[in-house]
């Protein structure tokens, strides 16, 4: 069951990467007129997917730091309120 799910997810990721890379390669080929081999198309697709995952992770990392900082500020404010009375 888990292998089927993993296979399905990986096939979906590969399909999305392949579709995006075909668009990018099509644009490059129309601009430059150079025929790009399929092996490079697949590599471009995987690099695009990795780039998207890294961008999402970076945004999530920044969001987590904002939440942690706000949490500390609220804790400090709560302690100050308790100290004041």
Quote the CA–CA distance of 21 and 41 in Å, as a whole number. 6
Quote the CA–CA distance of 69 and 8 in Å, as a whole number. 38
Q: Tens of pLDDT along the chain (85 residues)?
A: 667 888 998 899 889 988 999 999 999 899 988 888 888 888 888 898 999 999 999 999 999 999 999 999 999 999 999 889 7
Evaluate whether 16 touches 49 at the Cβ level (below 8 Å): yes
- DSSP code, position 35: P
In Å, what is the CA distance from 78 to each residue of 60, 66, 67, 75? 27, 18, 16, 5
Among 61, 67, 62, 16, CA closest to 42:
16
pTM: 0.65
Per domain, the residue ranges of the chain are 2-84
């Amino acid at each position: 069951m888990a292998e089927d799910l993993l296979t399905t997810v990986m096939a979906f990721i590969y399909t999305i990467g392949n579709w995006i890379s075909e668009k990018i390669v099509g644009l490059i080929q129309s601009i430059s007129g150079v025929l790009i081999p399929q092996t490079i198309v697949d590599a471009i697709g995987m690099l695009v997917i990795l780039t998207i995952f890294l961008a999402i992770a970076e945004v999530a990392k920044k969001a987590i730091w904002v939440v942690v900082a706000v949490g500390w500020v609220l804790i400090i404010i709560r302690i100050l309120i308790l100290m004041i009375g």
